[in-house]
């Protein structure tokens, strides 16, 4: 066995680093909140695109994102001598993605410059060009930010803490967007209070306020987080070489040969389907099925994320005390109850009171599922952080592609076969509920105790080398 003597690796992360790390995804979260919650509303009711055309815009974005994530993941994992990467291979891609996002997102919720009177299909090409660049930038920020978690600490519970804190800022970002939208759609309201083309400046106001806040948070991240030297990769080099001279790290081939990869991807994909589709379809359900006012299109999603925010404080403890599977099971139970509640309840009491209970359950469920699935992904990466960004890219590829396909199918069916006002209610219940159940089946099959174990030990007659000594200190940045 190789010599295991190596400098101790700390498992703690300084409080300032935790905070500044968590701010690094706020810009993405603000844009994602507008993208998933209001894109279809904006294109359907403000720009007057039909449901299929609106779905195509979202699908183009999801495909661009899906194709970008493995590419960014692979490039982010590379150790090269490109001068910008001396800033940090993760932070460099984060900076590139931030610039792409800031320079394109305002155009998606803006008017079609020079083509306002053109056919909607011509306008679709205009918007699609900005959507593609925006989604590349969004993917670069997401993957680089996620892949920093395994590099900041090797400790499973500390990684869950970082993931939970990151999700808390995600919830904060959504609460901010919905609060601003609530205020914005509530001022100068005319007519029946429903969304119309006259509301275009209000949506743009929300976008610009969100971008200012996101820029400030991204600046805090880049100033406050120092990307560490790859201590874990160096440790693996020193300890995981076996007598046959095999490579000390997992290759891309090793990653694809690991059956756990596909089960973890199923869990992550189903979680994102539940969270993102509920975010996309909820405003359409409120507007078309329940006939609620424009303000409630912000108030009820706000309740969802207030519930998510409250739940995020206990998800870490639930994962630590009960394990990943029980935490995920609890999230699925709450989500399925919310779906049944939506499907079988109606009437004045439901419209005025019970809908808020549904929102609370959706928020709690989404928080449990998302934090747990991200924790599973970090567990799969283990100490082999040199493939961290690539693994996150694969997870995100399955997530983005499945979301885009699901949305275009749902929108197209509504345009052509199922025009009923109850359509979005049924889509919410069956698609989101089915996604949660599929994720539960996947995580039940998954052997969580085997995550992060590489193929390098498979043919050895001895146990893998012990993990580095963990001490309760914080990384000195």
In order, the DSSP letters of 239-250 are: HS--TT---SS-
Helix (H) or strand (E) holding 11: strand 9-12
Mean pLDDT per 10-residue section of the chain, whose length is 477 residues: 37 76 94 92 91 93 91 77 65 93 95 88 94 95 88 77 84 88 73 78 94 96 80 44 46 83 93 93 92 88 89 83 91 96 92 94 94 88 74 86 93 88 93 96 82 46 38 31
Q: Own/partner pairs for 252-261, CB < 8 Å, 24+ apart?
A: 252/74, 252/387, 252/390, 254/454, 254/455, 255/387, 255/390, 255/391, 255/394, 257/455, 258/380, 258/455, 260/380, 260/446, 260/447, 260/450, 260/451, 261/380, 261/391, 261/394
Confidence (pLDDT) at 468 = 37
Classified by CATH at the fold level, domain 17-234+244-448 comes out as Growth Hormone; Chain: A; (1.20.1250)
CA angle 213, 215, 217 (to 5 degrees): 70
Q: Residue 228: which of 12, 471, 68 has the closest Cα?
A: 12
Confidence (pLDDT) at 470 = 32
Which two tokens mark 196?
């119309």
Query: Rounded CA gap, 156 and 375, in Å?
Result: 8
Confidence (pLDDT) at 150 = 79
Confidence (pLDDT) at 240 = 41
CA neighbours closer than 13 Å in the CB half-sphere of residue 313: 6
Query: Rounded CA gap, 385 and 72, in Å?
Result: 15
User: Could you tell me the maximum CA-CA distance found in the chain, to the nearest angstrom?
Assistant: 78
Helix (H) or strand (E) holding 474: strand 470-474
- For residues 402-417, one letter each, b for 16 or more C-beta atoms within 10 angstroms of the residue's C-beta and e for the rest, the string is bbbebbbebbebbeee
| Token pair 């996947």 in the structure block, residue | 442
Confidence (pLDDT) at 82 = 55
Q: Residue 228: which of 9, 467, 473 has the closest Cα?
A: 9
Within 8 A by CB and 6+ apart from 131, the residues are 57, 60, 61, 64, 104, 108
**Phi and psi angles of residue 10, each rounded to the nearest 5 degrees, phi first:** -85, 145
Mean pLDDT of the chain: 82
Confidence (pLDDT) at 196 = 84
């Amino acid at each position: 066995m190789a010599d295991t003597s190596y400098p101790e690796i700390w498992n703690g992360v300084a409080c300032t680093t935790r905070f500044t790390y968590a701010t690094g995804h706020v810009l993405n979260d603000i844009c994602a909140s507008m993208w998933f919650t209001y894109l279809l509303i904006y294109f359907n009711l403000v720009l007057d695109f039909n449901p299929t055309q609106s779905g195509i815009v979202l699908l183009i974005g999801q495909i661009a994102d899906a194709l970008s994530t493995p590419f960014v993941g692979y490039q982010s994992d590379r150790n090269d001598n490109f001068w910008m990467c001396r800033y940090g291979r993760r932070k460099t891609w984060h900076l590139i993605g931030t610039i792409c996002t800031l320079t394109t997102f305002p155009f998606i919720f803006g008017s079609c410059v020079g083509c306002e009177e053109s056919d909607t299909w011509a306008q679709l090409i205009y918007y699609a060009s900005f959507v593609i660049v925006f989604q590349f930038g969004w993917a670069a920020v997401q993957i680089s930010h996620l892949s920093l978690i395994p590099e900041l600490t090797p400790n499973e519970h500390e990684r869950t803490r970082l993931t939970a804190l990151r999700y808390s800022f995600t919830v904060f970002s959504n609460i901010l967007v919905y609060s601003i939208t609530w205020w914005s759609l509530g001022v100068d309201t005319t007519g029946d209070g429903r969304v119309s083309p006259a509301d275009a400046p209000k949506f743009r106001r929300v976008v610009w306020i969100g971008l200012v806040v996101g820029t400030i948070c991204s600046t805090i991240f880049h100033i406050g987080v120092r990307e560490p030297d790859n201590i874990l990769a160096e440790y693996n080099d020193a300890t995981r070489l076996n007598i046959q001279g095999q490579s000390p790290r997992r290759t891309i081939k090793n990653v694809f040969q690991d059956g756990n990869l596909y089960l973890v991807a199923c869990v992550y994909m189903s979680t994102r389907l539940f969270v993102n589709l509920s975010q996309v379809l909820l405003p359409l359900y409120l507007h078309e099925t329940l006939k609620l006012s424009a303000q409630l299109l912000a108030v009820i999603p706000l309740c969802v994320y207030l519930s998510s925010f409250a739940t995020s404080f206990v998800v870490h403890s639930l994962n630590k005390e009960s394990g990943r599977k029980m935490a995920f099971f609890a999230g699925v139970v709450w989500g399925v109850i919310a779906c049944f509640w939506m499907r079988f309840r109606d009437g004045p009491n439901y419209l005025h009171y019970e809908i808020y209970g549904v929102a609370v359950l959706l928020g709690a469920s989404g928080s449990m599922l998302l934090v747990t699935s991200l924790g599973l992904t970090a567990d799969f990466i283990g100490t082999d952080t040199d493939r961290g960004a690539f693994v996150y890219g694969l997870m995100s590829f399955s997530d983005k592609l499945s979301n885009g396909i699901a949305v275009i199918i749902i929108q197209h069916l509504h345009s052509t076969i199922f025009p009923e006002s109850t359509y979005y209610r049924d889509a919410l219940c069956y698609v989101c509920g089915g996604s949660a159940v599929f994720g539960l089946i996947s995580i039940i099959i998954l052997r969580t105790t085997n995550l992060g174990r590489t193929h390098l030990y498979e043919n050895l007659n001895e146990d893998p080398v012990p993990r580095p000594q963990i001490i309760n200190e914080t990384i000195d940045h």
